[in-house]
Each structure stands twice: as structure tokens, then as C-alpha cells.
Structure 1
Amino acid sequence: MTGPDDERTRELGVEFGPLARDLEDHQYPTTSDELVEQYGDAVLDLPNGEQQLHELFELVPEERIDSAADARAAIFNTVGDSAIGRKGYSDRTPPAIGEREEWPHESF
């Protein structure tokens, strides 16, 4: 059970750790370069490895960031394949036989 002092530090498979609070407390607007200057050594744990913030934001230098949510979005947009758990995996089950939609048979 979580209490009032517990912080949410994992989102979309990325574990932010202490960087989550740093991003929330940062003064915005800012740039990706300013975030790297302050938090560039912060480590993000991913399902298949880890990356430091400066490695991710090298891809988006001087990008304007208006909020902590924008900073997280920039991180999600720059993490590589190591952020993907199992490639090609889906937890969706296919429809049962008889429940499948039939494709229209059109010729072009």
C-alpha cells in the first residue's frame, strides 16, 4: 500500500528514480541542454538496460521544454530499443474463431 510520501517514479516502463522529483521541482520553461547541465548524470532504468539523461538529450539539443510532463515526453521519445520489454510481444489475445471480422472481398 502506498502512503502520502510515496512517489511515482516509473512511467511507461521507464524508472526515473530521483530524477522524477527533480523534473517536478525544476523551473520551466527550460531547454533540454539546461536539464542536461543540472541532471545529465541521472540514470534512467529501462526494461533492457539503462541510460543517462545526457545520452538521451544529445538527440534533442536546445529543445524548449515547458513542463515536467514535456520533459518526460522528450525522454519517452528519445529512449531506444532498451525501453521495449519484449519486442514483438503483445498481451492481446486473438479473437476466437467465429468472432473474427471478415475482410471485405473487393478487387481494385
Structure 2
Amino acid sequence: MSEDSVNSREQGIEFGSLAEELEDESYPLSHDDLLSRHGDRELELADSSTSLRDILGPENEQEYEDAESVRQAIFSMVGDDAVGRKGYSDRGGTATETDEEKTDESF
């Protein structure tokens, strides 16, 4: 198993082996061809899974230029289903002051 398939979670979506398959695909790729080849593939979200077909929908006239354009279409269509806890981010955040820093600034 390659490192890409091990680390295939992006923005709350687990792509699994679909990530590599999209990279290996021939582009440009029509929406219909994408769904006929990969539409039944399941993507894992925070609390559920759904097929690529359900995420992107059957009626789309888009043509995909590369694997990144497919991922971006998925990110824009998946909505809140990929979000685990609302208001929480595992992408880091701002540093907070420690008690010692607060004390130092008080003097």
C-alpha cells in the first residue's frame, strides 16, 4: 500500500484507493465517464459514507481537466456531511497565551 492510499483523507473526506485511481485516470474526462468508471466508489465522511455518484449528482455537464479538479468538485458538493464536530477544526489554530505569559504581561 502506498503512502498516498494511507493518507487519502482530505477536508474530512476519506478517498481511499479512489485517490490513486483518479491520479491514474486519462484527462480530460467527462462527468458521465467519471461516473461510469468510478460512480459506485464509496467515500467515507465523518459519520457516514456515500458514493461518488451521490456526491456529484447525475446531471452535470462538467469536464474534469485533472484529478485535482475532480477533488475540488467533490469538496464543493459534499457539504456539511464531511464535517465531524461543528465549530471544531483539526487544522490547528491560533496559539493561546499560557498562564505564565499572561502573568508576565501583567507586570
| TM-score above 0.5, yes or no | yes
Shift of residue 95 of structure 1? 6.8
Aligned residue for 2:102?
none
Of residues 7-16 and 86-95 in structure 1, the stretch that sits farther from structure 2 once superposed is: 86-95
Inter-partner Cα distance in structure 2 for 1:47 and 1:29: 30
Inter-partner Cα distance in structure 1 for 2:59 and 2:14: 20
Give 1:6's match in structure 2, choosing from 3, 15, 19.
3
Aligned residue for 2:16?
17
Shift of residue 65 of structure 1? 0.8
Matched position secondary structure for 2:53: helix
Amino acid of the structure 2 residue aligned with 1:75? I
Moved over 2 A (4+): 88-96
Q: How does 1:1-108 map to 2 (within 5 A)?
A: 5-7=2-4, 8-58=7-57, 61-89=60-88, 92=93
Identity %: 40
Inter-partner Cα distance in structure 1 for 2:58 and 2:79: 11
Count of residue pairs the alignment pairs up: 94
Give unmatched runs, 5+ long, in structure 1: 97-108
**Normalising by structure 2, what TM-score?**
0.74
Inter-partner Cα distance in structure 1 for 2:22 and 2:57: 18
Matched position secondary structure for 2:3: coil
Shift of residue 60 of structure 1? 5.7
Shift of residue 24 of structure 1? 0.3
Matched position secondary structure for 1:79: helix
Query: What CA RMSD, in Å, does the superposition of the two structures yield over aligned residues?
Result: 2.4
Inter-partner Cα distance in structure 1 for 2:59 and 2:67: 16
Task: Determine which structure has the larger helix proportion and give its number.
Answer: 2
**Normalising by structure 1, what TM-score?**
0.74
Inter-partner Cα distance in structure 1 for 2:68 and 2:46: 21
Give unmatched runs, 5+ long, in structure 2: 98-107
Aligned residue for 1:101?
none
